[in-house]
Amino acid sequence: MPPGAWMEQEIREQPSLLRAQASRYEDELRSAMGGLRPQLVVLAARGSSDHAALYARYLIEIFLQIPVSLAAPSVLTRYRSEVRYPPCLIVGISQSGAAPDVGEVLESARNHGHSTLAVTNSPASRVASAAEHALLLDCGPERSVAATKTYTASLLAMGCLVRALGGELPPMGLPDEAWLDRSRSAAEAALGPVLRSNRWFALGRGLSFASAHETALKLMECALVPCKAYSTADFQHGPRALATHGSTALVFGQPPERLEAQGCAVERFPDPGHGPWSPIAEIMTGQWLALLAARAKGLDPDQPDHLTKVTRTL
């Protein structure tokens, strides 16, 4: 098999998988939430799941006007201190379900009477059993170390959760096979500048900020490209000074003005036009780019050095 064969297969599975699961996610979450209207939502996650949580934060605050906190699990696991949350919903996202610190956050919250929800691809996992309710992503095995289909399924689950909590999101927009081809073409166009650069940035804002973070992570873990993600707004407060000749900015949304004039190659990723659902599709360009960059460098993103599929942190 060519390097990254599993990753490519799992990228390609996403359109059909997401369409097959969307209605079930929404039905199960409506049943689990049962009209719940929390004063606060707390999200606990690591790695790619943390980027899904970042997307959820924007969705929840935009469409529900409920404040969101991203949990710092080490407050509990390392410092043995427990935050006195007001009545809230605590959501743990872990594609493998094996994140022990996310499990501890859910267990502690449940013991204190808060509503808890686990979102995972592993039904017999610590995270699934720790929460009162669990949504199984049901993506099938994900054999590549890089999360692809479990990441986009997690994003879809977050959109369905917001709807289940009463958010009036517009009609669901999901990627199709034509979008897969378009996103791969965009990645191929960006590949040359990425391979020729010595500084890399992934930029996005609002709902697309999660896509910038996930693209940077994919480039690091698959292709050993030390890409740094920034909010497009924060990028203007200092990091932009580094974006000169020899650098590339991978941009979701509108790029900063005159960035190319200072020597930075700007690759603007295509917008699928799905409104708040767009990050589910737009990240596919980042996934393709990481896969293609790894292959161009002779690396196998299915089996990267020094990384494993399941990462356990406390």
Q: What CATH number is given to the structural domain containing 100? A: 3.40.50.10490
Residue 8: predicted pLDDT? 97
For residue 36, is it within any domain?
Answer: yes
Claim to verify: residue 194 and residue 156 sit in the same structural domain: no
For residue 169, is it within any domain?
Answer: no
Q: At what angle do helices 149-164 and 5-33 cross, to 10 degrees?
A: 20
Say if CB 125 and CB 96 are below 8 A apart: yes
Number of domains in the chain: 2
Residue 313: predicted pLDDT? 54
For residue 244, is it within any domain?
Answer: yes
- Which two three-digit tokens encode residue 55? 């997307």
For residue 302, is it within any domain?
Answer: no
Claim to verify: residue 56 and residue 100 sit in the same structural domain: yes
**pLDDT exceeds cutoff 70 at 311:** no
Claim to verify: residue 157 and residue 208 sit in the same structural domain: no
Residue recorded with tokens 């737009």: 282
Q: State pLDDT tens for residues 228-284.
A: 999 999 999 999 999 999 999 999 999 999 999 999 999 999 999 999 999 999 999
Higher local confidence (pLDDT), 95 or 165:
165
**pLDDT exceeds cutoff 80 at 304:** no
For residue 172, is it within any domain?
Answer: no
Q: Give the mean model confidence (pLDDT) for residues 214-220.
A: 98
Q: What is the mean pLDDT of the chain?
A: 94
Claim to verify: residue 156 and residue 211 sit in the same structural domain: no
Tell me how crowded residue 110 is: count the other CB atoms within 10 A of its CB: 15
For residue 65, is it within any domain?
Answer: yes
User: 135, 164, 193: which is the final residue of a domain?
Assistant: 164
For residue 311, is it within any domain?
Answer: no
Claim to verify: residue 144 and residue 96 sit in the same structural domain: yes
- Reading phi first (left if > 0) and then psi (alpha if -120 to 50, else beta), residue 135 is in beta
Residue 309: predicted pLDDT? 52
Claim to verify: residue 36 and residue 150 sit in the same structural domain: yes
Claim to verify: residue 153 and residue 181 sit in the same structural domain: no
Q: At what angle do helices 177-196 and 278-296 cross, to 10 degrees?
A: 50
Claim to verify: residue 203 and residue 149 sit in the same structural domain: no
User: 164, 197, 216: which is the final residue of a domain?
Assistant: 164
Claim to verify: residue 253 and residue 283 sit in the same structural domain: yes
List all residues 6 or more positions away from 150 whose beta carbon is below 8 Å from its beta carbon: 48, 95, 121, 137, 139, 142
Q: How confident is the model at residue 178 (pLDDT cuts 50, 70, 90)?
A: very high
Say if CB 279 and CB 155 are below 8 A apart: yes
Claim to verify: residue 40 and residue 147 sit in the same structural domain: yes
Claim to verify: residue 253 and residue 131 sit in the same structural domain: no
Give Dmax (Cα) for the chain: 56
Q: How confident is the model at residue 305 (pLDDT cuts 50, 70, 90)?
A: confident
User: 96, 129, 164: which is the final residue of a domain?
Assistant: 164
Residue span of the structural domain in which 10 resides:
5-164
Percent of the chain with pLDDT over 70: 97
Claim to verify: residue 210 and residue 236 sit in the same structural domain: yes
Residue recorded with tokens 């407060």: 237
Residue 56: predicted pLDDT? 98
For residue 190, is it within any domain?
Answer: yes
**pLDDT exceeds cutoff 70 at 303:** yes
- Which two three-digit tokens encode residue 196? 């020729």
Least confident of 73-87, 185-199, 202-216, 253-267: 73-87
Q: State pLDDT tens for residues 97-127.
A: 778 889 999 999 899 999 999 999 988 889 9
